[in-house]
Structure 1
Amino acid sequence: MTDSRQAALFDLDGVLLDSADAVRSTLAAVATCALGRRVTPGDLPPGALRRPRIEVLALLDVADPDDACDRWWDGAMSANPVKPFPCVLSGLLALRAQGTATGAVTLQDPDRLRWLLPPTVAELLDVVITRQDTRPKPAPDGLHAALSQLDVPPERAVYVGDSPTDMTAARAAGVVALGAVWGWHPPAALRAAGADHLLPEPASIGPSLMHHLPLIGST
């Protein structure tokens, strides 16, 4: 690996992509199809975005959440547009302009990314690792796979995520764990999971991310 090269890796949902409304609408649509009565996003249980979708649907009295997701999730999700957060595209462009490699490590399935990941974002990522490529987070395998493809050592990389699972994976991979507080989980949960630093807004994505590299080994 080339020690002079750096990499900024990201989760997708809640970090690069503003998908919260789309996921809420999808949960409501799947429950509607399964129950035969209208369910709205306002009917979802508290903290729905922080719970597994199977758990949310079970709390809504869906008898077989797995079957319901198999039948209706992708169709419902594809009908809801997902956009990058403000400043994400310019931040990724700036990172690449300074020679920093970029990538995503996500729990999404690769088939779903064909319509979930906007082309404007995809073209700015040097590598995308999905749950089918390696053991999923919180295992560090996905981050290691991305860094291997980018030829960047872990100590020269950061990972930006919005969940405790992301922070656990980053710490296990030996990269700087940066918590995105504009995502789906509260700052306290990110800190408790080992975040090295919290980022306040999507505008934090850019070359300044790499200023956190000295945090490696300091905590």
Structure 2
Amino acid sequence: MLDSAAAVRSTLAAVATCALGRRVTPDDLPPAALRRPRCEVLALLDIADPDDACDRWWDGAASAIPVELFPGILCGLLALRAQGTAVGVVTVQDPDRLRSLLPPALSEMLDVVVTRQDAPPKPAPDGLHLALNRLNVPPGRVVFVGDSLTDMTAARAAGIVALGAVWGWHPPAALRAAGADHLLPEPASIGPSLLHHLPLIDSA
């Protein structure tokens, strides 16, 4: 939902700057930085204790960088809600960070929110199971949209249709290899048409 690539790169650079005591820019990050765990990226920049660096500086750096929704996402979710479809989020973000990221118009329409404080993070399916329990719906009546390999793995493990968003950080082939049932080509794919994928798993 969120166009966070530039923000994550800037946050990585800011954390590296604090840890190394010299200016690091997004251009200094290693190749494919967005597809690697953040601590791995920081280690490649010769930061001795990436976990400690993230604990110290990540949240502060990230909160100072604005993030916007991809165009069309909000309209698509509103259309889903208008036809009675529940909408939720399962995220690795903590509640405070998530509140700062999501615009009020989006936050108000979410029927369920599961953060890293509620359940083990993806690729574990626990967060998805918790969301299903809170909504009181079976896995076969749900689709999960994600742009990461862990999103696809978690959805498949939970028995949920996994829809890969190819406008995110990972190429289509990688999303397929991680378990995506279908690929969504653009943010405008978000909407009632997502539910067309449900019979595919119901009839399996």
Q: Which of residues 152, 173, 180 in structure 1 aligns to 2:158?
A: 173
Change (3 A) 1:212 1:106: same
| Matched-pair contact (CA < 8 Å) for 1:84–1:121 | no
TM-score by length of 1: 0.90
Counterpart position of 1:12: none
Deviates more, 1:122-131 or 1:21-30: 122-131
Q: Within the alignment, does 1:149 sit opposite 2:134 as a pair?
A: yes
The 5 Å alignment of 1:1-219 reads 16-216=1-201
Aligned residues: 204
- 2:161, 2:52 → 1: CA distance? 38
What SS is found at the alignment partner of 2:129? helix
| Superposition CA RMSD, Å | 1.2
| Superposition deviation, residue 194 in structure 1 | 1.4
Structure 2 unaligned blocks of 5 or more: none
Structure 1 unaligned blocks of 5 or more: 1-15
Could you give the per-residue CA deviations for residues 106-164 of structure 1, whole angstroms, max 9, x where no partner exists?
Answer: 11122321212222221121111011211221121111111111121110000001112
| Superposition deviation, residue 191 in structure 1 | 0.5
TM-score by length of 2: 0.96
- 1:144, 1:181 → 2: CA distance? 24
* Percent of paired sites with the same residue: 82
Following superposition, which runs of at least 4 residues in structure 1 exceed 6 angstroms of deviation?
none
Deviates more, 1:110-119 or 1:70-79: 110-119
Could you give the per-residue CA deviations for residues 90-117 of structure 1, whole angstroms, max 9, x where no partner exists?
Answer: 0110000000000011111223212122
Query: Aligned partner of 2:150: which letter?
Result: T
- 2:202, 2:79 → 1: CA distance? 27
